[in-house]
Structure 1
Amino acid sequence: MRGMNTAEDALIDVVPLGTAPVPERGRVEALAGGRLVVRAPGLVEVHDREDFLAGRAAGARAALLTREPERAVPTPDGGFVVAGVSSVRALDADGGTRWELAHDRWHGADRAHSVPAVSPDGRLVSVVVPRLEPEKEKAALVYDLEPGRNYTWDELLLLDAATGAVLGRRQIRSLASAAVACWGPDGDAVVVSCWTAWQSWSTWWAEPRADGPHLVGATWMHALAGFLPGGRMLTQRYAEYLFPDDDRDELAVYDLRSGEQAALVDLRELAVDPENDEFLSAEVLDGRHVLVPGRVHPAAGVAELRHWLLDAETLRPLGRVNYPVPVGEDVTALGDGTWLTRDGDRLHRWALGHTGSGGVDAR
């Protein structure tokens, strides 16, 4: 039985703001300070956002050649922090190593599982690392492929960005196969989302204190999607079918200070075919709007990519975005109410415009 799409009647028009070329396999991410990151196989480049989108991307602010197992993020001063299989290291703008911190080797694969994050002021680095447990009976994971390699729960570390010194650590209930961290815009909270096999996502948020990260809240089966004004964060739950009652795609808003959930929406409200439709991400456009791309299956049977606009306060669907060109599943929100979509080797930049039929004013 096909679902009712409550946002389908309202079409929300957009204003095109220009196009720019992008490498065939490049992925574009937004950074604070008017920067863009372009990730291509073996290469990470940092560009001035407006120059890049105006087609003046002759040279990058900073660039780093990467090896496939590593995960790299830029720092505000032109350097990079790189997570590897058994260490985290910081590089300066010329590629020289500032510091390197060794840790236990990641389990299960010859690659880094964690992506580090740098605080907005550039002073702190947060990263999730694995932890070996010498006593087998205390281990949370016994890794049988390598005898003697028993792991307990991962650790969230806070590091001095200048020296790599460990300023604090906190154990979290995760054995991550993937982990991402991100700082809130004002730097007073760090959020980490970890995917653990057969347990889905877990998300933790903490205040950085002198004695280490102080955990404020946590949620299960939801991953960080972005930040909203007023000390709130947006999370997304994916239908992973790990358990019998695990077929829900959801968005939720949490208060970072109290840890309480402030809003929740079941994305089947947007679905055409709830059993098969997928909701791929959620992007905070500004303090009022969230954009959700998804793949739906209309009665004709051919899957379509659609984007919906939601109210950021209540998560109420406002309508479906009416683009004049094809769009894919990749969306890059630029933090100023504009966003990028991709069509082949071109990036399109958009702003919200007047709505069509349905009477919803999403400007």
Structure 2
Amino acid sequence: MTSTAETPIDATLVGTVGTTGSVTPLTGGRLALTDDDRLEIHDAKTFLSGALAPLRTLPLPPRSTAAALEDGAIVCEAAGIRRITADGRTLWELPHTPWHGCHDEPRPPGPPAPHPGGGLVSVLVPTLAVGGTATARPGGGASGLPYGNDTLLLLDTDSGRIRARRPISGISSVATQRWRPDGALLALSSWTAWYSWTSWWIEPRRDGLHIRGTTAMREIIDFLPRPPDGGPDAPPHLLTLRRAERIAADDDRNELAAHDVAADEPTTLYDLARLTAGRDSDEFDGAFLLDDRHLLVTGRTYPPGRPAVIRHWLCDAATLRPLGRVRYPAPVGWVTPLGDGTWLTRHTGGLRHWSLP
């Protein structure tokens, strides 16, 4: 008998786009395409039809991350944050201690996160473990600096003024930020080498940023647009993913979880080992919210004596349980959800656009 996790669900190929880069859905029927040296704003329908006709293109410096605004972008670099206008001018700049780079060139751990209502943007900056004001070294070298925990800043997008700040208990190599759609809460995850993920949900108030909860070893995925119980007054829920990083004796768990932001413990858990044949033959890359009902989980299985096989499972966003395994008529790579039940996957020639049957 076929288990629910192995029930076939055939993905429908909607179209292809001959470009690479990272895609981010925006409001107003637009999306942003970020590549190594540029940020492009596209009409979503035109882009997904395969036509590459950007509405606006902004050049980006090397090893930077960026987030689009209505009239420009916020750009995070190795040793500073800049607001650029739609014509590429720098409106303001906020320098900071250079990011720690180890053997690589320093770069920000993740992109900035503009507030859904506009006017504010959330960014992480590194700090030194000793007092004093740090400036970037000539040439941008960062090795040997005594780093302390990073600081979360809420900036005014028009002036660059710091509206609120809050230290976090992590030195981020990777960071993920998600705003609740109404802008009332910010979810932040930080991955620190040898310590895994730590995540918080943070409430901006007039007197600062208030941490509402914290979750160890879990990365924020997204806010559920519709709470699991469906009630209009139900508290917002967050989805998180725990990966078996095996940095501790009891760290052999891959889990999806849903969280009530008013509680400390998850309200719903699903052990992802149940999707595959065995705990020692699976590896999970990510989880992606397709819409308010569907979650796509991606991973690899390792059949004995055979190469690793990429697997995608469709799960119920409320219960976290599998609905089936997604089958594709073509090879797939990393996933970008578009929020309307469709998603993109990366392949050698560009991007493929998929939908559910």
Q: TM-score, normalised by structure 1?
A: 0.85
Question: How big is the shift at 1:167?
Answer: 0.8
The SS at the match of 1:281 is strand
Are positions 1:280 and 2:285 aligned together?
A: yes
Q: Structure 2: how far apart are the matches of 1:33 and 1:205?
A: 27
Superposed, 1:239-250 pairs within 5 Å as 239-250=244-255
Which residue of the partner structure matches residue 211 of structure 2?
215
Which of 97, 106, 121 lines up with 1:104 in the alignment? Answer: 97
Is residue 12–residue 320 contact of structure 1 (8 Å, CA) maintained in 2?
yes
Are positions 1:40 and 2:35 aligned together?
A: yes
Q: Structure 1: how far apart are the matches of 2:60 and 2:291?
A: 32
The SS at the match of 1:162 is coil
Q: Structure 1: how far apart are the matches of 2:183 and 2:153?
A: 16
Which of 64, 79, 85 lines up with 1:86 in the alignment? Answer: 79
Which residue of the partner structure matches residue 141 of structure 1?
none
Q: Structure 2: how far apart are the matches of 1:255 and 1:178?
A: 24
Which residue of the partner structure matches residue 120 of structure 1?
116
Are positions 1:226 and 2:216 aligned together?
A: no
Which residue of the partner structure matches residue 331 of structure 1?
335
Which residue of the partner structure matches residue 171 of structure 1?
167
Q: Structure 1: how far apart are the matches of 2:241 and 2:316?
A: 15
Which residue of the partner structure matches residue 361 of structure 1?
none
Give the unaligned 5+ runs of structure 1. Answer: 137-143, 354-363
Q: Structure 2: how far apart are the matches of 1:125 and 1:259?
A: 26
Q: Structure 2: how far apart are the matches of 1:5 and 1:87?
A: 54
Change (3 A) 1:300 1:35: farther
Describe the superposition over 1:157-208 as per-residue Cα deviations: whole angstroms up to 9, x where unpaired: 1111111111111111111122232211111111111111111111111111
The SS at the match of 2:154 is strand
Q: Structure 2: how far apart are the matches of 1:9 and 1:249?
A: 18
Which residue of the partner structure matches residue 139 of structure 1?
none
Question: How big is the shift at 1:61?
Answer: 2.3
Amino acid at match of 1:71: T
Q: Percent identity?
A: 43
Amino acid at match of 2:239: L
Which residue of the partner structure matches residue 136 of structure 2?
none
Which residue of the partner structure matches residue 67 of structure 2?
73
Q: Structure 1: how far apart are the matches of 2:267 and 2:55?
A: 39
The SS at the match of 2:47 is helix
The SS at the match of 1:202 is strand
Is residue 5–residue 322 contact of structure 2 (8 Å, CA) maintained in 1?
no
Which residue of the partner structure matches residue 269 of structure 1?
274
Q: Structure 2: how far apart are the matches of 1:150 and 1:346?
A: 41
Is residue 14–residue 351 contact of structure 1 (8 Å, CA) maintained in 2?
yes
Are positions 1:317 and 2:322 aligned together?
A: yes
Is residue 207–residue 214 contact of structure 1 (8 Å, CA) maintained in 2?
yes
Describe the superposition over 1:290-322 as per-residue Cα deviations: whole angstroms up to 9, x where unpaired: 011211123561322121011111111111113
Are positions 1:130 and 2:126 aligned together?
A: yes
Q: Structure 2: how far apart are the matches of 1:150 and 1:343?
A: 40
Amino acid at match of 1:347: L
Amino acid at match of 1:286: D
Which of 9, 13, 19 lines up with 2:10 in the alignment? Answer: 13
The SS at the match of 1:115 is coil
Q: Structure 2: how far apart are the matches of 1:272 and 1:43?
A: 43
Question: How big is the shift at 1:273?
Answer: 4.2
Change (3 A) 1:243 1:66: same
Q: Structure 1: how far apart are the matches of 2:109 and 2:267?
A: 30
Which residue of the partner structure matches residue 359 of structure 1?
none
Are positions 1:55 and 2:50 aligned together?
A: yes
Q: Structure 2: how far apart are the matches of 1:205 and 1:184?
A: 10
Question: How big is the shift at 1:258?
Answer: 4.0
Amino acid at match of 1:211: D
Which of 304, 310, 320 lines up with 2:309 in the alignment? Answer: 304
**Equivalent pairs, count:** 336
Question: How big is the shift at 1:6?
Answer: 4.1
Q: Structure 2: how far apart are the matches of 1:249 and 1:131?
A: 32
Q: Structure 2: how far apart are the matches of 1:21 and 1:112?
A: 28
Question: How big is the shift at 1:215?
Answer: 0.7
Where relative contact order (Cα < 8 A, 6+ residues apart) is larger, the structure is: 1
Which residue of the partner structure matches residue 138 of structure 2?
none
Q: Structure 1: how far apart are the matches of 2:217 and 2:24?
A: 24
Change (3 A) 1:289 1:62: same
Is residue 17–residue 51 contact of structure 2 (8 Å, CA) maintained in 1?
no
Change (3 A) 1:73 1:274: same
Q: Structure 1: how far apart are the matches of 2:162 and 2:265?
A: 30
The SS at the match of 2:274 is helix
